[in-house]
Structure 1
Amino acid sequence: MRPPPSPRKADRRHLQVSVLIDVDVGLMRAGVASTGQAVALAEHIAGYPSLTLAGVQGYGGHWQHIAGYPTRRDAVRAGMLRLTAVVTALREAGHRVELVTGGGTGTVAADLERDVLTELQPGSYVFKDAQYADALADDADGAFGTSLRVSSQVVSVNAASIVTVDAGLKAFATEGPAPRPAPGRFAGSAYAFFGDEHGAVSRPPGIEVRLGERVELVTPHCDPTVDRYDSYHVVSVTAIIAIDAARASR
Structure 2
Amino acid sequence: MTEVGLAKEQLDTPVLWVDLNILERNIALLVEHFRRAGVNWRPHVKGVKVPELAHMLVDAGAIGVTCAKLGEAEVMAAAGITDILVANQVVGPRKIERLVRLARTADIKVAVDNAENVNALSQAATEQQVEIGVLVDVDTGMNRTGVQPGPAVVELARQVHAASGLRFLGLMAWEGHTLVHKETDVKHGAIVRAVELLTKMAADCEAAGLPVTIVSGGGSGTYKVTPFLPNMTEIQAGGAIFSDVAYSGWGVETTPCLFVRSIVTSRPAPDRMVFDAGYKALPAWIAQPKPIGIDHIVKYSTSAEHGVITLSEPNLQIKVGDVFDFVVGYTDSTLFLHNQLYGIRNDVVENVWTVSARGMLT
Tell me the TM-score normalised to structure 2 length: 0.62
Partner of 1:109: 224
Select the residue among 130, 141, 148 that pairs with 2:245: 130
Q: Which amino acid in structure 1 is aligned with residue 268 of structure 2?
A: N
Distance in 1, Cα, partners of 2:156 & 2:302: 49
Q: Which amino acid in structure 1 is aligned with residue 287 of structure 2?
A: P
**2:284, 2:302 within 8 Å by CA — same for their partners in 1?**
no
Distance in 2, Cα, partners of 1:150 & 1:41: 45
Partner of 1:246: 358
**1:179, 1:191 within 8 Å by CA — same for their partners in 2?**
no
Highest relative contact order (Cα 8 Å, sep 6+), 1 or 2? 2
Shift of 1:32: 0.8
Select the residue among 141, 153, 167 that pairs with 2:277: 167
Tell me the TM-score normalised to structure 1 length: 0.88
Label 1:194 to 1:101 Cα distance change in 2 as closer, same or farther (>3 A).
closer
Shift of 1:223: 0.8
For 1:66-85, what aligned pairs fall within 5 Å after superposition?
66-85=181-200
Shift of 1:212: 1.9
CA offset digits 1:121-169 (Å, max 9, x no partner): 1111111121222232xxxx53x22111211111012312111111122
Partner of 2:162: 47
Moved more, 105-114 or 9-18: 105-114
For 1:188-227, what aligned pairs fall within 5 Å after superposition?
188-202=296-310, 208-227=317-336
SS at match of 1:80: helix
Label 1:190 to 1:240 Cα distance change in 2 as closer, same or farther (>3 A).
farther
Partner of 1:18: 133
Q: Which amino acid in structure 2 is aligned with residue 228 of structure 1?
A: L
RMSD over aligned Cα, in angstroms? 2.1
Identical-residue share of aligned pairs (%): 25
Q: Which amino acid in structure 2 is aligned with residue 242 of structure 1?
A: T
Distance in 1, Cα, partners of 2:211 & 2:123: 22
Select the residue among 146, 155, 164 that pairs with 2:256: 146
Q: Which amino acid in structure 2 is aligned with residue 245 of structure 1?
A: A
Partner of 2:35: none
Label 1:187 to 1:7 Cα distance change in 2 as closer, same or farther (>3 A).
farther
SS at match of 1:155: strand
Q: How many correspondences in the alignment?
A: 243
Flag structure 2 segments of 5+ consecutive residues without an equivalent: 1-70, 72-93, 101-120
CA offset digits 1:210-243 (Å, max 9, x no partner): 2221122222221121111111122226221221
Label 1:165 to 1:191 Cα distance change in 2 as closer, same or farther (>3 A).
farther
Q: Which amino acid in structure 1 is aligned with residue 356 of structure 2?
A: D
**1:130, 1:218 within 8 Å by CA — same for their partners in 2?**
yes
**1:181, 1:189 within 8 Å by CA — same for their partners in 2?**
no
Distance in 2, Cα, partners of 1:23 & 1:173: 32
Partner of 1:33: 148
Runs of 4+ aligned structure 1 residues displaced above 6 Å come to none
Distance in 2, Cα, partners of 1:207 & 1:107: 42
